[in-house]
Chains A and B, each alone.
Chain A
Amino acid sequence: MNTELLLQLTVNGLIVGLLYGVIAMCFVLIYKSTQVVNFAQGEFLLIGAWVCWGTLVWLDLPFYIGFLLTLGFMTLFGILIQAVFLRPMIGEPIISVIMITIGLSMFFQSLMKWIFGVSAESYPQVFETSVVNIAGLNIELAYILSLIFSVVMMAGFYWFFKHSRMGLAMRATAFDQQVASSLGISVSKVFAASWAISAMVSATAGIVIGMVNGVSSALSFIGIKVFPAVILGGLDSIVGGVVGGVIIGLLENLAEFIDSQYLHIGNLYTIAPFYILLIILTIKPYGLFGTRDIERI
Chain B
Amino acid sequence: MITLSMRPCGDFRTSYKADNQIFETKTIRWLTMASIGLLCFAPMVLDAYFLTLFIQISYLGIAALGLNILVGFTGQISLGHGAFFGFGAFASAWLNNSFGIPVWLAIPLAGWLTMVVGMLFGSPAARIKGLYLAIATLAAQFIIEDFFARAEWFSGGAYGAAAEPFTLFGFAFDSDESFFYVALFALVFMTLWATNLMRSRDGRAFVAVRDHYLSAEIMGISLNWYRLLSFGVSSFFAGIGGALYGHYLGFVSAEGFTLMMSVQFLAMIIIGGLGSVKGAILGTIFIVLLPEVLESTVALMAETGLVSHGSLTEGMAYLKEMAIGLVIILFLIFEPQGLAHRWKQIKAYWKFYPFAY
Contacts and interface: CB of A to CB of B under 8 A. Distances in A.
Interface residues of B, number: 44
A296 to B, nearest CB: 10
Given A106-B321, A110-B321, A100 B332 contact: yes
Contact of B140 (A270, A278, A285): A278
B69 interface: no
B128 to A, nearest CB: 5
Interface string B68-84: 00010000010000000
Contacts of B132: 231, 281, 285
B195 to A, nearest CB: 22
A95 B150 contact: no
Interface in B126-147: 127-128, 130-132, 134-136, 138-140, 142-143, 146
B77 A111 contact: no
Given A98-B77, A103-B326, A107-B326, A114 B143 contact: no
Contacts of A110: 317-319, 321-322, 325
B54 to A, nearest CB: 26
Contact of A37 (B134, B139, B263, B270): B134
Contacts of A37: 131, 134
A111 B138 CA distance: 23
Interface in A93-132: 93-96, 98-100, 102-111, 113-114
Nearest to B149: A267
Nearest to A277: B139
Given A99-B332, A275-B143, A285-B128, A267 B318 contact: no
A281 B332 contact: no
Contact of A85 (B139, B321, B329): B329
Nearest to A295: B214
Contacts of A265: 150
B328 to A, nearest CB: 4
B136 A96 contact: no
A179 interface: no
Given A100-B332, A114-B318, A275-B143, A95 B124 contact: no
Interface in B301-357: 315, 317-319, 321-322, 324-329, 332-333, 336
Given A85-B329, A94-B130, A107-B326, A278 B139 contact: yes
A24 to B, nearest CB: 13
B332 A224 contact: no
B65 to A, nearest CB: 17
B142 A106 contact: no
A107 B329 contact: yes
Contact of A106 (B123, B127, B317, B322): B322
B213 to A, nearest CB: 10
Q: Which of the four size classes fits the interface of chain A?
A: 35 or more
A235 interface: yes
B135 A113 contact: no
A89 interface: yes
B260 interface: yes
A271 interface: yes
Contacts of A113: 318
A284 to B, nearest CB: 10
A184 interface: no
Contacts of B260: 106
Contact of B150 (A99, A231, A267, A278): A267
B124 A96 contact: no
B293 to A, nearest CB: 17
A285 B127 contact: yes
Nearest to B121: A278
B322 A278 contact: no
Nearest to A265: B150
Contacts of A104: 325, 329
Interface in A210-262: 224, 227-228, 231, 235
A228 to B, nearest CB: 8
A282 interface: yes
Contacts of A297: 214
A85 B329 CA distance: 8
A136 interface: no
Interface string A23-35: 0000000000000
Interface of A: 37, 85, 88-89, 92-96, 98-100, 102-111, 113-114, 224, 227-228, 231, 235, 265-267, 270-271, 274-275, 277-278, 281-282, 285, 295, 297
**Closest 3 A/B residue pairs (Cβ):** A107-B325, A106-B325, A103-B328
Interface of B: 1, 71, 77, 123-124, 127-128, 130-132, 134-136, 138-140, 142-143, 146, 149-150, 214, 259-260, 263, 266-267, 270, 274, 315, 317-319, 321-322, 324-329, 332-333, 336
8 contacts: A94-B134, A99-B328, A99-B332, A102-B328, A106-B260, A107-B321, A110-B319, A227-B135
